[in-house]
Amino acid sequence: MTELKQMTLTVDDLLAGYDGTRILEGVSFSLKTGERLGVLGRNGMGKTTTLASIMGLTEFQGGNIAVDGQSISAMSTFQRARLGLGYVPQTRDVFPSLTVEENLLSALGKQPESRIEHAYQLFPRLKERKQNYGNQLSGGEQQMLSVARALMGNPSILILDEPLEGLSPLLAEQLMTDIEHLVETSGMGCILVEQHVDVVLRFATRVIILERGKVAFYGTPAELEQQPKLLEETIGLQKISA
């Protein structure tokens, strides 16, 4: 396995949106390799826009995004990926007319082909299905492949936008276990947007809650659990399951 590059991602007073419409109103946070940030909030509050903005997929309107102190706000999505940001969008990033292995090969870039075997070790189901086309995979298998494709670039920080969406509880639990194992064993950083609050609080070392494009909370899961009123107001939860 290729050695992981240490990285610090800093988002400072970010203003961003689409076609002149502002969605994010001064979002700020930082993340280092080895840390895990969970992003919570109701639908339409800016979670997906935050992740897309980190990758340069929105209209940048102000503030700054930096890697190791260097601004990347004007960089292309490709340049940001080359720096070590891996992105798994809400829409599964899979080529339906390519096999599993061809999907992985297409994402390798200059990385060694040994990374494919590493992905198969992480997701044995993909190895079993490596000659199947993307459109022949189940939803869970497609999501595994989407994550595996993001890993081909050997990212230092993995950005996941609702990876469990549409999966059965059993498949969701399996995929989340695989993601947790990956992050813990590799030491990479991770940003996770997920509707399952319990999952986020178990996974994250720090949590952000977004409310109308602004940061309503930024702290540890333990600190958030002590604020049930905030959870009810911003997410609609009256209680977190044990």
Q: Which domains does the chain have, with CATH numbers?
A: 8-234 (3.40.50.300)
Asked if residue 241 has pLDDT above 50, the reply is no
Model confidence band, residue 239 (pLDDT cutoffs 50, 70, 90)? very low
What integer pLDDT is reported at residue 187 of this predicted model?
A: 92
Q: Say whether 119 sits in a helix, a strand or coil.
A: helix
DSSP classification of residue 136? G
Q: 119: which 2 tokens? A: 């992905």
Q: What is the mean pLDDT of residues 73-78?
A: 96
What is the chain's mean pLDDT, rounded? 91
Asked if residue 234 has pLDDT above 80, the reply is yes
More confident residue, 238 or 195: 195
- Asked if residue 89 lies in contact with residue 162, where contact means CB atoms within 8 angstroms, the answer is no
* E strand map for the chain: 8-18, 21-32, 36-40, 59-67, 70-71, 85-88, 157-161, 189-193, 206-211, 214-219
Residue with tokens 């995004």: 65
Dump pLDDT digits (tens) for 119-128.
Answer: 999 899 999 9
DSSP for 206-230 reads EEEEEETTEEEEEE-HHHHHT-HHH
Dump pLDDT digits (tens) for 211-221.
Answer: 999 999 999 99
- Sheet of 21-32, strands arranged across: 21-32, 8-18, 59-67, 70-71
Residue 65 carries which side chain, given as an amino acid letter? I
What integer pLDDT is reported at residue 233 of this predicted model?
A: 85
Residue with tokens 């390799």: 33
Dump pLDDT digits (tens) for 85-117.
Answer: 999 998 777 999 999 999 999 998 888 888 899
Q: 191: which 2 tokens? A: 């940003």
What is the per-residue burial (b if ≥16 Cβ within 10 Å, else e) of 57-84?
Answer: bbebbebebebeeeebbebeeeebbebb
Q: What is the mean pLDDT of residues 193-217?
A: 94
Distance CA 85, CA 156 (A): 6
Asked if residue 242 has pLDDT above 50, the reply is no
Residue 8 carries which side chain, given as an amino acid letter? T
Which residues does 196 contact at the CB level (< 8 Å), separation at least 6? Answer: 164, 172
Model confidence band, residue 38 (pLDDT cutoffs 50, 70, 90)? very high
DSSP classification of residue 9? E
Q: Closest Cα to residue 11, out of 21, 33, 26, 1?
A: 26
- Least confident interval from 18-27, 116-125, 166-175: 166-175
Model confidence band, residue 2 (pLDDT cutoffs 50, 70, 90)? low
